[in-house]
Structure 1
Amino acid sequence: MRLEALEVGFEIHCEGSRAGDLADSVLAAWDWCLVSGDDGAGPFQQVKVELDPGLTTPARSSGATSLSGHDLPTLMDRLSPLVTRLAVTERRHDLVMFHACAVADPSTGDTVVLYGPSGAGKTTLARTLCTDLIYLSDETAGVAADLRVVPYFKPLSIIVNPTERLKEQVSPGRLGLVRPGEVGFRLVGLVQLCREPEHRGDALVESLATVDALPELMAQTSYTRDMERPLHRMADLAHRVGGVRRATYAEAEQLRPVVRAILDGDL
């Protein structure tokens, strides 16, 4: 099957004695990323995934673009970061790529990128906010030089069973998230996430001076070392969208009015 991540084309080859089960799972989880040969991004990177009960490991990398193992949930869990890594590497010279949740207004395509480290609540934010906003990603938001946002409609990694270590890879459509129409996407806001479980009341929103925003902005951006004058580039990007806001919050719902205000130009 063929899919697209950050406008990079991939051809996923499902192999092994349980290739059919594997293919069904990939199709179900990655349905928003699927493309036909005519609609794809050009040459497709080849990725091989093998599922066979006779193999000795739950999942292991047998090359830079291949996975193999006997356990379907583990293979599905490993496929997502593999595709993400390959796509991010491919786009490292022409996109600024934030470790972020990205959501967009359905009517205008205006987009807010909410960035932060693992555990900051990006996937929960995507599930919460994208019941009425467009889901663009819960993992990587790519921004071009003209502020165009490149979506990455990956499956969301969800804890289904609290006793299980692995997260389930779930299609955004299965979660009822809003799918984009024909509108394009343009960055209008950057939000640094600061999740504090003990925080009470409304989210606390602060406008950061660029010099104060840069350390975390750089830390949550891929391949900054490959950028020309990275600090200047990131500072310019922040300036063009009105600066960086830091949001301190406990629950995802607290950020709904914050994101809406940014999209409406009221914050």
Structure 2
Amino acid sequence: MRAGRLRGMPTAFDVRALASTVRIELDDSLNSAEQESIKAHWVDLAHHEDGEPDRVIRAGLGDLSPAFDGSFPVRADSPEGLAQRITSEITIRAIGGLRGEALMLHASAVALDDGRVVGFVGPSGRGKTTAVQALGRAYGYVTDETLAVRVDGSVVAYPKPLSIRKRPGVKATEPASTLGLRTAPTHDLRLAALVLLDRRPGVDDPFVESVPIIEALSALAPQTSHLSALEHPLRTLLDTILTTGGVRRVVYAEASSLPSLIDDVLRTIEHGAPMLIDIPKLSERDCGCFSDDVATQSNPSGAEESGVYWRASYVDALTVDDALIVQVMGQVVVLAGVGPILWLAADGLTELELREIAMRQLPEAPAGVDVTGVIADAVQGMVDTRILVRK
């Protein structure tokens, strides 16, 4: 407690964040005005129904006493810093409440009056919040950070207070209603389009372009939360891409130009439907995909051969046209060319055996191509990305 500060009475309030009710308990290290200011940030998501919350956050300045009641303690050195920490923790708890039930993208989003939702995806600093500030006066504000899409395409709105950068390293927390943003429809929200934000200085004529399926998947997968918790994560992500007509990229310089591009974003972009093949979950040793292409030597001792390659543990795998997408914890790896053959064949085979299989499966290489070197590089690349292990 800093000297000279007036204590307030502890206060608590509930907010509805995605599908969870979160209670925020502010202790007496904050004075009454500071407590009311933080509470006002969440006026658009205030929850007044009876019942116990799904999560409880205890917040205050300075050190907090340990919690033994299951609540989560949050502290900061200033009321402004505490407001940001509270926003982050509410969002984390809300995302956790939909773990395994929805595809959750790091995206801002707005909704048309008929419930169609346009999501703007990108890492921090790419302009998601600025985009919805520019769009939210013409369209309904859905979220500035976390877009939750259920497997049926329905969207769970999360119109959280916006975190607006005031100067480097400093953000202010502002509720959407005080910024003049429109309220999105409360029912029947459905994802209609996904957009990658590409802000480039000096773009005089902003435009919308289609993004190839593999590139879209590679761009979206890192911008998700709890993707691996879904039953079929890669299939779910790809189905979402396909049912919205493919991912678009908006190339622009100023957010003020975004409203004029919405019609272009929503216009269906025709794609040739890719061929998708789900790969059954394989253990390290049960594929047998190329068992007829290599002579298996008996091993009476049962000891594993040194220097052989196995598929590492992975979450999901899917073939998209000629590419193989493999999801391991923390990343999605796209394999093309010889990569899919080598990965599927890696059932305790040496590099020589893998090379023999690949050369049987691939067309004859052009003159001057070092096939041995290409395959060795491919194998090492998969080891480096942790989708193959060498034992």
| Normalised-by-shorter TM-score class | 0.7 to 0.9
Are 1:6 and 2:13 matched, yes or no?
no
Rounded to whole Å, the distance in 2 between the matches of 1:218 and 1:232 is 12
Q: 2:146 aligns with which of 127, 136, 140?
A: 140
Q: Which runs of 5+ in 2 are unaligned?
A: 1-12, 270-391
Describe the shift of the 1:212–1:266 C-alpha distance in structure 2 as closer, same or farther (beyond 3 A): closer
Q: 1-side partners of 2:268 and 2:222: how far apart?
A: 28
* Residue equivalent to 1:67: 74
Equivalence for 1:244: 247
Q: Percent identity?
A: 33
Question: Secondary structure at the residue paired with 1:159?
Answer: strand
Counterpart check, 1:33 vs 2:45 = yes
Q: Which residue of 214, 218, 235 maps to 1:215? A: 218
Residue in structure 2 matched with residue 170 of structure 1 by the alignment: 174
Q: Tell me the C-alpha RMSD between the 2 structures.
A: 2.2
Q: SS at 2:239's partner residue? A: helix
1:208-255 superposed Cα distances (whole Å, 9 cap, x missing partner): 221121011101111122223322221111111111111111111222
Give CA deviations for 1:136-186 in whole Å, capped at 9, x if unaligned. 1110010011111111111111123x3x63201001011100013444311
Measured at CA, do residues 230 and 61 of structure 1 come closer, stay the same or move farther in structure 2, by a change above 3 Å?
A: farther
Letter in 2 for 1:7: A
Which residue of the partner structure matches residue 234 of structure 1?
237
- C-alpha contact 1:73 1:168 (8 A) present in aligned 2: yes
**1:33 Cα deviation (Å)?**
1.0
Query: Which amino acid is the alignment partner of residue 49 of structure 1?
Result: A
How do 1:183-198 residues align onto structure 2 when only pairs under 5 Å count? 183-198=187-202
Is the 2:248–2:265 contact (alpha carbons within 8 Å) kept by the matching residues of 1? no
- Verify: 1:84 aligned to 2:88, yes or no: no
Structure 1-normalised TM-score? 0.88
Q: Is the 2:110–2:135 Cα contact (8 Å) retained in structure 1?
A: yes
8 Å CA contact 1:95–1:145 kept in 2: the answer is yes
Q: 1:62 to 1:68 in 2, by over 3 A?
A: farther
Q: Are the equivalent residues in 2 in contact too, given 1:4–1:34 (CA < 8 A)?
A: yes
What secondary structure, in the 3-state scheme, does the structure 1 residue paired with 2:86 have? helix
1:260 alignment partner in structure 2: 263
1:153 pairs with one of 156, 159, 174: 159
Whether the 8 Å contact between 2:245 and 2:268 is mirrored in structure 1 is: no
Structure 1 158/187 Cα, relative in aligned 2: closer, same or farther at 3 Å? Answer: same
Q: Based on CA coordinates, which of the two structures has the bigger radius of gyration?
A: 2
Q: Which has the higher contact order (CA 8 A, sep 6+)?
A: 1
Do the aligned partners of 2:74 and 2:86 also contact (CA within 8 Å) in 1?
yes
Deviations 1:11-36 (A, max 9, x none): 11110232523431222111111111
> Which position in structure 1 is the counterpart of 2:30?
18
Distance 2:263 2:39 in 1: 33
SS in 1 for 2:236: helix
Amino acid aligned to 1:82: E
CA contact (8 A) 1:77 1:166 kept: no
1:116 aligns with 2:122: yes
Gaps of 5+ in 1: none
Confirm or deny that 1:94 pairs with 2:98.
no
- Checking the alignment, whether the CA contact within 8 Å between 2:151 and 2:236 is kept in structure 1 is no
Letter of the 1:11 counterpart: R
Matched positions, count: 254
Q: Secondary structure at the match of 1:206?
A: strand
User: Take 1:75 and 1:28, find their aligned partners in 2: how far apart are those partners?
Assistant: 14
Matched residues in 2 for 1:172 and 1:181: separation? 14
Would the alpha carbon gap of residues 36 and 220 (structure 1) be closer, same or farther in structure 2, given more than 3 Å must change?
Answer: same
What is the CA-CA distance between 1:266 and the residue it aligns to? 6.2
What is the distance in 2 between the residues matched to 1:61 and 1:242?
52
Q: What TM-score, normalized to structure 2?
A: 0.61
Q: Check conservation: 2:208, 2:264, Cα contact below 8 A.
A: no
